[in-house]
Amino acid sequence: MSKLILTRHGQSTWNAENRFTGWVDVDLSEKGKEEAKKSGELIRKLNFKIDISYTSYLKRAIETLTIILKILNLPMKFNTAWELNERHYGSLTGLNKEETKNKIGEEQFKKYRRSWDVAPPLMAEDSNYLENFSPLNGGIPQNKIPLTESLKNTYERVIPFYDIEINKNLKNGKNILISAHGNSLRALCKYLFKISDTKINELEIPTGNPLIIEFDNQSKIQKYYYLDDSRAKNIIFNQ
């Protein structure tokens, strides 16, 4: 039986400021580093081997993973994939969430944040925020780089990567750790737990609380649970 560990990165500096971050490459806050340490400590208590680790091109997820690997006393060997990047928030990038909600109204705000297929307006091609994107993005094919994304768009890059790269290792009995982002993990959970387009808006991925998913050798989910029950969120399955 193989295990998949999904960890959302700890609080970032822009999370702390309540700003839409998306592809902007910001650091973990001090609280975020502590959340990453907590994740590592929780995983260590499981006492099973991590065979392969994956993360995105964004340093908040990379730093979370490196903190966890240090706590697990594992080598700093991991795979980075742009497909696991956070959702691109387009023209909302950098804006304060509360101010944006007050400006555009709660209904439109919820559509941009939680709907399945509504993307924010495009980011301007000369936006100053482009300078703050990860330098690793230089390895992304030019025709794959978005200027905005819905969750559906995020799903369309996360799931092919999962099917081609990650699932083959799960089928081979490997235990896999993924350190990624709220929306890239929501997209993956939608796929794994067969969550409908209408129900996915109810799924929230907590920071600093690893989700364990256990699979049989046919890639069917046998068990799933958060490591910290006190901060667990409801997992929607086949709805």
Catalytic: 9?
yes
State the CATH architecture for 9-152+201-212+227-233: 3-Layer(aba) Sandwich (3.40)
Residue 234 confidence class, pLDDT cut points 50, 70, 90: confident
pLDDT tens profile 148-162:
999 999 999 999 999
Residue 177 confidence class, pLDDT cut points 50, 70, 90: very high
The whole-angstrom separation of Cα 25 and Cα 61 is 10
The whole-angstrom separation of Cα 55 and Cα 177 is 9
Whats the size of the chain, residue-wise? 239
Catalytic residue among 35, 63, 83, 86: 86
Q: Which of 87, 207, 206 is nearest to 157 (CA)?
A: 87
Cross-strand partners of 24: 133
The token pair at 81 is 């994939």
Instruction: Give Dmax over CA atoms of the chain in angstroms.
Output: 50
Q: What is the pLDDT of residue 18?
A: 96
pLDDT tens profile 7-22:
999 999 999 999 999 9
Residues in CB range of 118: below 8 A, 6 or more apart: 111, 112, 150
The whole-angstrom separation of Cα 154 and Cα 116 is 10
The whole-angstrom separation of Cα 127 and Cα 121 is 13
The whole-angstrom separation of Cα 89 and Cα 225 is 29
Dihedral sign, CA of 137, 158, 41, 52? negative
The token pair at 212 is 């364990």
Phi, psi of 191 (to 5 degrees): -70, -50
pLDDT of 238 above 80: no
Q: Is the pTM of this model over 0.75?
A: yes
Q: What is the pLDDT of residue 80?
A: 97
Catalytic: 86?
yes
The whole-angstrom separation of Cα 57 and Cα 60 is 9
Q: What is the pLDDT of residue 239?
A: 57
DSSP E strands in 171-237: the ranges are 176-180, 211-215, 221-226
Query: Average of pLDDT values for 234-239?
Result: 74
Q: 151-161 and 182-192 helices cross at what angle (nearest 10)? A: 70
